[in-house]
Amino acid sequence: MNNIRQGNKQLIKELNRALVINTILNYGPLSRTRIAELTDLNLSTISNIVSDLISKELIHETGEGKSKGGRKPILLEFNSNEKSVLGIKIGLDGIVVGLLNLKSKILDKKFVPCPIKQEEKSILEFLSKAIQALLRKNKTKLEEIVGCGIGISGLVNQKEGYLVFSPILQWKKVRFREILEEKFKFPVFIDKDVNTLALAEKRFGAGKNINHFICITIGKGVGAGVVINGEIYYGGYGGAGDFGHITIEKDGPRCYCGKNGCLEIFSSDQFIINRMKEFLAKKDSQEIKNFFSAKKDLTLLSAQEILELATKGEILSQSIFRELGENLAWGIMNLISLFDPELILIGGDGAKAGELIFNPIRGKIKEYFPFKPELKILPTQTGEDGWITGAAELVLQEVFKTPIFKPKKEVVLKSAFHW
């Protein structure tokens, strides 16, 4: 508990200021009277804070609201375009660099292919160029950026801001924070991509107002962001939620992590491809053969093509997705036993199979947890943009955090309450 600040006049002043800023940011435009109703602060305190915020151009007056008798109230709105934030998603499919305003609205985004198997220096130079190009295009100055959040596939040291290892990207130790902060002079945050998606779902998606939920992503890999008491749970070393590497078959095939029978082997894109190759080897579906006849090299099959086949109603490929759903259900049941979440969200490219995987999962959960009828299994709601919105959220949650705790040593960011 020693990270809580000492109670004094300064802290009360900052707390009230934070309360007013966050209320206008999240619920604005609002009148001073409405802020008083929502915050329980008295009107003179609010007027003082508001005058200061207007003089610092953090908020502005924006027309008049409806009158309940008497003078029409003047509405206040947050200047969300005064500053911007960068949200970046790095994955095998490519890098998306997003420019967002302080209300998490995406102003622009740029897609670049991902450099594979490269060294730290060239990766960071490549990323820097993509950032610079986006800023130049939008005429955004470096000093307008409050910070940059990065979501990446792999094991991340969040405290020190570097990627430890990414098996999917084949990258080892990339010091994103140290090198990008040195170059751009804005604070940089990095986290596992699935945690950033969980943050986006918590703020804007299906996890809104839910304290305990787990956001699972399936696709090339399998991972989970665990939200406990409204916050991401990191564990002791930042690696919590390594859902793809729980063992579901102890004598199963070897996984690249060194263990046998990991869940990822039975529920990632590679599982779909492997199963289809088995079917093709048996040549027991003419429809599959017809579908792929134009393809010269069947070793280059993608999960996306197999999903297209399933969507067209081909029975064998549909059965692959149902089997994947059942495999995933075993892992999810372990999560439910461990964390007792109110909600399980499933996102990522693999979730595009929709009911084909959701039905077997829901069936199993209903069967084994009949006493938890309220527990919901839903697709993520924030879509493709959730990744960069969530990455930006790494910055914004620090900027607008209630200042009750002493600042973390590793965070060099100035909170909005001190602007």
Residue 261: CB minimum distance to Zn ion, A: 8
Cβ proximity to Zn ion, 16 vs 270, nearer residue: 270
Residue 240: CB minimum distance to Zn ion, A: 16
Query: With b meaning 16 or more CB within 10 Å and e meaning fewer, what string describes 93-111?
Result: eebbbbbbbbebeeeebbe
Give me the long-range contacts of 180-185 (CB less than 8 A, separation at least 24): 180/124, 180/127, 180/128, 180/148, 181/412, 183/128, 184/128, 184/131, 184/142, 184/145, 184/148, 185/142
Q: Is the preceding peptide bond at 29 cis, omega within 30 degrees of 0? A: yes
Taking the C-alpha atoms of residue 168 and residue 180, their distance in angstroms, rounded to an integer, is 22
Cβ proximity to Zn ion, 270 vs 381, nearer residue: 270
Cβ proximity to Zn ion, 84 vs 166, nearer residue: 166
Listing DSSP states for 332-358 in one string gives HHHHHHHH--SEEEEESGGGGGTHHHH
Taking the C-alpha atoms of residue 270 and residue 331, their distance in angstroms, rounded to an integer, is 17
Residue 270: CB minimum distance to Zn ion, A: 12
Residue 262: CB minimum distance to Zn ion, A: 3
Taking the C-alpha atoms of residue 402 and residue 11, their distance in angstroms, rounded to an integer, is 10
- Are the C-beta atoms of residues 59 and 81 closer than 8 Å to each other? no
- Token pair belonging to 4: 């809580």
To the nearest 5 percent, what fractions of the chain are helix, strand and coil? 45, 20, 35
Q: How far is CA 408 from the centre of its chain?
A: 22
Cβ proximity to Zn ion, 123 vs 262, nearer residue: 262
Widest Cα–Cα separation across the chain: 81
Cβ proximity to Zn ion, 111 vs 256, nearer residue: 256
Cβ proximity to Zn ion, 23 vs 327, nearer residue: 327
Cβ proximity to Zn ion, 211 vs 260, nearer residue: 260
Place of tokens 């960069």: 388
Residue 214: CB minimum distance to Zn ion, A: 19
Residue 251 phi, psi dihedral angles, 5° rounding:
-105, 20
Cβ proximity to Zn ion, 140 vs 247, nearer residue: 247
105: nearest Cα among 359, 385, 342, 331? 385
Residue 255: CB minimum distance to Zn ion, A: 3
Residue 170: CB minimum distance to Zn ion, A: 16
192: nearest Cα among 229, 162, 230? 162
Residue 259: CB minimum distance to Zn ion, A: 5
Cβ proximity to Zn ion, 87 vs 244, nearer residue: 244
Cβ proximity to Zn ion, 137 vs 254, nearer residue: 254
Residue 264: CB minimum distance to Zn ion, A: 6
202: nearest Cα among 229, 184, 178, 176? 229
- Are the C-beta atoms of residues 349 and 222 closer than 8 Å to each other? no
Query: What residues line the site for Zn ion (CB under 5 A)?
Result: 245, 255, 257, 259, 262
Residue 102: CB minimum distance to Zn ion, A: 39
